């Protein structure tokens, strides 16, 4: 949130605080553990609010901390209106919100409307009640095919591997786009939407500033649940062409978002961002229409390789998707579902150098930035041993896909050996590597050259310098493997060099560089801000 003297009229509206905010994603299990069980929790987050304020972020996004058997580490919710004892209780949540607000940090939380846990009382009741019951109608139960009903109702795969259907003892099947412990809700059932409205109000009344909507492109299912055409290539990963995949991005989903928006509009100054893995720009734009979500996560930067052309294309798509709409673009390099960007860009010193460069690019762009906890420390993914892996993807893929645990290892705070001040317990839910001794927050705070100091400096400039004003940017001509753009309002220039050799620096006063400059040359794997 920029200082008022630099504000443009539309940003000066305090209720739209999120329009240029830097959010910090707290993966609750891995941030800070207050009670010595080796798992992060709400009081742990509270104990580190000073750090977050010092870092210079504006808002937090907390991953699910609700009652859950943790089959998908909290994305399987058994009670959306209570805190799992592993993470604390409602009183701990209230303390966290109050203290975060004292530190000028907004608090946003995850919502999981596509599915519940199989331990949710609704699903348990559905199992007991049997075929054709009102209890089953809250989920997606169907009879199977074949002579004895043993063939799943359609050919949909689960995102975590294996079929998207599981058979229950009375012979029916239920749909789960993710793990079998995450049955999909039936969004044609009015009780389902009424319950989500109740959950929204429950947390809004407790003072949350907004929500991140899980699988925001998933809730509506197409009429008749048609098969995926076996001749079509769905494509790898979650950001694929949804027009050939009937599981996601069905038009009915927009009614759900209109309902969510209506409830949030009763509470001025609150917002919602959707997890929208939708590739087509026009289809993406539908999620952020004026009566739907305030923001949509655009994952183009996550998908781009470290190459100026590919990064520029990602930026142009992300800007283009929201052009003409009254919503800013969003920028993300890492989150709890993808390989950390230090590792994606090559790992080691090169990966870290490129990560710094991309951080400057991301923070130079107009709009909203989402940081993932630990990226400010330059954490790479951890290559965990087989015995440590816990992601359901590892199990469901029959140990062929290692899953997302590598980016979820608990943060190193201080000291020379694990658990690095994360916990009082000697072991943590995922083991930390000894090499992280050099990456602790403590060791980086006083080092002006550290990744942490670099993030603090960049965030401070982004917040306070008028060069960052304005919503539009223009591209300059640049040598192959490079780009340079200028923020039209404030005049900030950001140049990136991925060419493999040095290139002449554009004219201007250097505000911040991601690495050492070479006279008037911009070295490769480096970005610079000029004013
Ligand atoms: C997206 C979340 O980010 C991911 O972690 C989770 O496994 C799935 N949705 C299912 O809820």
Domains and CATH numbers, the chain: 121-175 (3.90.400.10), 471-530 (2.60.40.1180)
Distance CA(168)–CA(464), nearest Å, equals: 58
Give catalytic status of residue 214 as yes or no.
yes
Query: What distance in angstroms lies between residue 296's CA and the mean position of ligand 1's atoms?
Result: 16
**Which residue carries 């979650």 as its tokens?**
238
Distance CA(367)–CA(273), nearest Å, equals: 13
Closest ligand 1 atom to 76 CA: 11
Give catalytic status of residue 472 as yes or no.
no
Query: What distance in angstroms lies between residue 326's CA and the mean position of ligand 1's atoms?
Result: 28
Contact 341, 375 (CB under 8 A): yes
* Span 14-73, pLDDT tens digits: 889 999 999 999 999 999 999 999 999 999 999 999 999 999 999 999 999 999 999 999
Mean pLDDT to the nearest integer, 364-388: 98
Q: What percent of the chain has pLDDT over 90?
A: 93
Nearest residue (by CA) to ligand 1, atom 4, is: 337
Extract the tokens encoding 350.
Answer: 């090169």
Has residue 10 got a pLDDT over 70? no
Has residue 2 got a pLDDT over 80? no
CA distances from 66 to 70, 106, 110 (A): 10, 19, 9
Has residue 9 got a pLDDT over 50? no
* Span 135-171, pLDDT tens digits: 999 999 999 999 999 999 999 999 998 999 999 999 9
Closest ligand 1 atom to 177 CA: 10
Query: What distance in angstroms lies between residue 372's CA and the mean position of ligand 1's atoms?
Result: 15
Write down the mean pLDDT value for the chain: 95
State whether the Cα torsion 122-127-129-132 is positive or negative.
Answer: positive
* Span 87-135, pLDDT tens digits: 999 999 999 999 999 999 999 999 999 999 999 999 999 999 999 999 9
pLDDT category of residue 234 using cuts at 50, 70 and 90 = confident
DSSP classification of residue 514: S
* Span 280-310, pLDDT tens digits: 999 999 999 999 999 999 999 999 999 999 9
pLDDT category of residue 241 using cuts at 50, 70 and 90 = confident
Nearest residue (by CA) to ligand 1, atom 6, is: 75
- Is the pTM here over 0.75, yes or no? yes
Has residue 3 got a pLDDT over 50? no
Has residue 4 got a pLDDT over 50? no
DSSP classification of residue 185: B
Has residue 356 got a pLDDT over 60? yes
Q: Which is the catalytic residue, given 184, 214, 303, 391?
A: 214
Nearest residue (by CA) to ligand 1, atom 11, is: 75
* Span 380-420, pLDDT tens digits: 999 999 999 999 999 988 999 999 999 999 999 999 999 99
Has residue 235 got a pLDDT over 70? no
Distance CA(135)–CA(141), nearest Å, equals: 10
């Amino acid at each position: 949130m920029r200082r008022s003297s630099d504000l443009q009229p539309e940003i000066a509206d305090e209720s739209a605080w999120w329009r240029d905010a830097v959010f910090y994603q707290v993966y609750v299990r891995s941030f800070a553990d207050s009670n010595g069980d080796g798992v992060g929790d709400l009081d742990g987050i509270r104990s580190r609010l000073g750090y977050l304020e010092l870092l210079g972020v504006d808002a937090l996004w907390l991953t699910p901390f609700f009652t859950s058997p943790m089959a998908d580490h909290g994305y399987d919710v058994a009670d959306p209106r209570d805190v799992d004892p592993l993470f604390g209780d409602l009183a701990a949540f209230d303390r966290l919100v109050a203290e975060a607000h004292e530190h000028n940090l907004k608090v946003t939380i995850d919502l999981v409307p596509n599915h519940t846990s199989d331990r949710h009382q609704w699903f348990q009741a559905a199992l007991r009640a049997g075929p054709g019951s009102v209890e089953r109608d809250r989920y997606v139960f169907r009879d199977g095919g074949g002579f004895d009903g043993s063939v799943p109702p359609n050919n949909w795969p689960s995102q975590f591997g294996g079929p998207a259907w599981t058979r229950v003892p009375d012979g029916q099947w239920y749909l789960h786009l993710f793990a079998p412990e995450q049955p999909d809700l039936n969004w044609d059932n009015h009780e389902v939407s009424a319950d989500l409205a109740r959950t929204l109000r429950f947390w809004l009344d407790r003072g949350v500033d907004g929500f991140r909507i899980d699988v925001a492109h998933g809730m509506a299912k197409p009429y008749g649940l048609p098969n995926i055409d076996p001749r079509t290539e769905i494509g790898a990963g979650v950001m694929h062409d949804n027009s050939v995949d009937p599981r996601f991005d069905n038009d009915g989903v927009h009614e759900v978002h209109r309902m969510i928006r209506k409830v949030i509009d009763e509470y001025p100054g609150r917002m919602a961002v959707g997890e929208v893995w939708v590739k087509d720009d026009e289809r993406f734009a539908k999620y952020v229409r004026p009566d739907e979500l305030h923001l949509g996560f655009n994952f183009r930067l996550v998908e781009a390789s470290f190459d100026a052309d590919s990064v520029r294309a990602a930026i142009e798509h992300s800007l283009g998707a929201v052009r003409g709409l009254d919503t800013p673009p969003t920028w993300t390099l890492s989150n709890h579902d993808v390989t950390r960007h230090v590792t994606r860009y090559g790992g080691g010193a090169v990966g870290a150098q490129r990560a710094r460069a991309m951080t400057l690019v991301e923070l130079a762009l107009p709009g909203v930035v989402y940081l993932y906890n630990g990226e400010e420390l330059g954490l790479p993914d951890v290559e965990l041993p087989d015995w440590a892996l816990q992601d359901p993807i590892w199990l469901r893929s029959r140990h062929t896909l290692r899953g997302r645990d590598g980016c979820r290892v608990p943060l190193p705070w201080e000291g020379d050996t694990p658990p690095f001040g994360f916990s009082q317990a000697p072991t943590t839910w995922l083991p930390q590597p000894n090499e992280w001794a050099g990456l602790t927050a403590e060791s980086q705070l006083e080092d002006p050259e550290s990744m942490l100091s670099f993030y603090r400096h960049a965030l401070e400039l982004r917040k306070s310098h008028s060069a960052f004003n304005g919503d539009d940017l223009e591209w300059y001509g640049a040598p192959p493997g490079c780009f340079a753009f200028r923020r039209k309002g404030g005049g900030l220039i950001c140049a990136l060099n991925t060419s493999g050799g040095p290139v002449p620096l554009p004219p201007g006063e250097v505000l911040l560089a991601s690495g050492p400059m070479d006279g008037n040359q911009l070295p490769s794997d480096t970005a610079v801000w000029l004013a």
